[in-house]
């Protein structure tokens, strides 16, 4: 009786299988990446929804006024975040970026439930560890798609500068009164700003740093070719790039103007 020898794969068969697997991976990878990005986009929206809701809580407790928009280094009592620093645009070096002091801003206690840090809060309080500020999983002020510069800043979202009311010198002035906003559902409150231009908590739509074109535009459209925005009624939405880019131009920023 002849023994039967087990048959293995030939080299050609193995190469065919590997080729098929490579094709399948090439077909599946975009879908996997898209699913991951959708998850980051959703988490970013949740962050912005949290911040917008906390803004509404601030408005309710401050005679219908928004907080101030957090101009770099101004550090007014009712700035929603403090600090920041101006560096060259586009920003690509994390070492040149300073962390925005979100824990000293007026919104901190609403967002985290912890005491506000600094001269207008608890002077003995301390913020989180550095790893917390740099973690998109923990820090609700930080977009899940933030890169090295964004994680160093600890902030991804910027407040519409047109909602700001410059303080009268006392440092106690609030932002705009919500009654002055003509259409809250169409007036932008927060922008998921590119880390290549964000340096503080204020977003100036006509600022030169925001006039992005070409390859730099992809850093603005970091969520499926679009951007997340929070509005003054508290809702959050996604806008596709071809509609968002004109809104940064000097001739079409009606969504940033609370009086229109």
Q: Contact 134/156 with Cβ under 8 angstroms?
A: no
Given a cut of 60, is residue 219 above it in pLDDT?
Answer: no
Number of domains in the chain: 1
pLDDT in tens, 164-206: 876 665 666 789 999 999 999 999 999 998 888 899 999 988 7
Task: Say if 160 falls within a structural domain.
Answer: yes
Task: Say if 144 falls within a structural domain.
Answer: yes
Task: Say if 25 falls within a structural domain.
Answer: no
Q: Contact 22/166 with Cβ under 8 angstroms?
A: no
Total number of residues shown for the chain: 260
Q: For the chain, what is the mean pLDDT?
A: 85
At 3, the pLDDT band (50, 70, 90 cuts) reads: low
The confidence score (pLDDT) of residue 215 equals 42
User: For 144-156, what is the mean pLDDT?
Assistant: 95
Bond preceding residue 90 cis, omega within 30 of 0 = yes
Task: Say if 29 falls within a structural domain.
Answer: no
Is the Cα torsion angle 76, 80, 83, 87 positive or negative in sign? negative
Task: Say if 216 falls within a structural domain.
Answer: yes
Three-state SS for 103? helix
Which of the pair, 254 or 124, is modelled with greater confidence?
124
Task: Say if 31 falls within a structural domain.
Answer: no
Its pTM stands at 0.84
Q: What is the 3-state secondary structure (H, E, C) of 104-135?
A: HCCCHHHHHCCCCECCCCECCCCCCCHHHHCC
Domain that holds residue 85: 40-256
Task: Say if 62 falls within a structural domain.
Answer: yes
The confidence score (pLDDT) of residue 153 equals 96
The helix or strand, by DSSP H or E, that contains position 26, with its residue range, turns out to be helix 11-61
Task: Say if 11 falls within a structural domain.
Answer: no
At 146, the pLDDT band (50, 70, 90 cuts) reads: very high
User: Token digits for 106?
Assistant: 């007026």
């Amino acid at each position: 009786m002849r023994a039967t020898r087990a048959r293995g794969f030939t080299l050609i068969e193995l190469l065919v299988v590997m080729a098929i697997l490579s094709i399948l991976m090439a077909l599946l990878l975009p879908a996997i990446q898209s699913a991951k990005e959708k998850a980051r986009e959703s988490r970013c929206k949740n962050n912005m929804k949290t911040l917008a809701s906390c803004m509404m809580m601030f408005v309710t407790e401050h005679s219908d006024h928004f907080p101030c928009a957090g101009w770099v280094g101004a550090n007014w009592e009712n700035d929603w975040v403090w600090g920041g620093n101006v560096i060259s645009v586009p920003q690509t070096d994390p070492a040149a970026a300073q962390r925005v002091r979100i824990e000293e801003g007026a919104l901190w206690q609403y967002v985290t439930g912890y005491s506000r840090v600094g001269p207008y809060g608890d002077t003995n309080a301390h913020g989180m560890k550095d790893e917390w500020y740099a973690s998109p999983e923990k820090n609700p002020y930080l977009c899940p798609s933030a890169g090295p510069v964004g994680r160093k800043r600890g902030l991804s979202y910027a407040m519409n500068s047109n909602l700001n009311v410059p303080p009268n010198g006392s440092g106690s002035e609030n932002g705009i009164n919500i009654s002055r906003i003509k259409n809250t559902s169409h007036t932008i409150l927060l922008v998921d700003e590119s880390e290549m231009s964000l340096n503080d908590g204020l977003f100036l739509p006509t600022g030169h740093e925001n006039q992005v074109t070409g390859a730099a535009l992809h850093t603005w459209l970091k969520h499926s070719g679009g951007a997340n925005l929070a509005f003054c009624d508290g809702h959050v939405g996604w806008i596709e790039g071809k509609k968002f880019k004109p809104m940064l131009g000097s001739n079409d920023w009606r969504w940033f103007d609370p009086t229109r």
